[in-house]
Amino acid sequence: MPPDLSTQTPPTRANSNKVIKLVQPNRDLSWQVAPSLVISFQYAWNGLSYAFQTQRNFRIHIGVGALALGLGFFLGLTSIEMAVIGLTIGAVLAMELLNTAIESVVDLTVKQAYHDLAKIAKDCAAGAVLVSSMAAVLVAGSLLLPKLWILLQPTLQGFTNRV
């Protein structure tokens, strides 16, 4: 439990010669939440697992991201291009996880009742996911489509010559 700040004496000239102990949050219990690094990773994995099991859009983003990475490997993108696609996918998934967390906290706070500010918070979080996913489509498209066009161009020319 945090210390009661109302009982602390603020520093003044009258008591400036006293040793004033700075009020710090009690961090002793913070290490009890995750006593080891392995358990911290387990908590993170639980969050990923929860999002995958309950959030349809998270699963869609993983599928589209895997498709983009697979297509990138197939088309022979450079390691830098693959890294850019991977970082973009990571940003979208991170935004989706933050969206899920914000929605959960808002629902906990308003206890499933409607509130205008709760709607704004949830809509903005969803909008952040939308912005990041649109940026990911632009990034992947700019890297994948030119190489895909070069790969498909002979096939398309052969198709138009037959018609």
Tally the domains of the chain. Answer: 1
Is residue 101 within 8 A of residue 92, CB to CB? The reply is no
Residue 47 belongs to a domain: no
Residue 45 belongs to a domain: no
The CATH number of the domain where 122 resides is what? 1.10.287.3610
Domain extent for 61? 57-163
- HSE (CB half, 13 Å, CA atoms) of 16? 3
Hunting for tokens 């190489």 — which residue is that?
147
Residue 16 belongs to a domain: no
Q: Could you list the pLDDT tens digit for every one of the 163 residues in the chain?
A: 445 544 544 444 444 455 545 555 555 555 567 778 898 899 999 999 999 999 999 999 999 999 999 999 999 999 999 999 999 999 999 999 999 999 999 999 998 789 999 999 999 999 999 999 999 999 999 999 999 999 888 776 766 666 5
With 0-12 CB in 10 A as exposed, 13-18 as middle and 19+ as buried, what is 65? buried
pTM as predicted: 0.74
Residue 44 belongs to a domain: no
Residue 17 belongs to a domain: no
Residue 11 belongs to a domain: no
Residues known to be catalytic: 96
Q: What DSSP character marks residue 11?
A: P
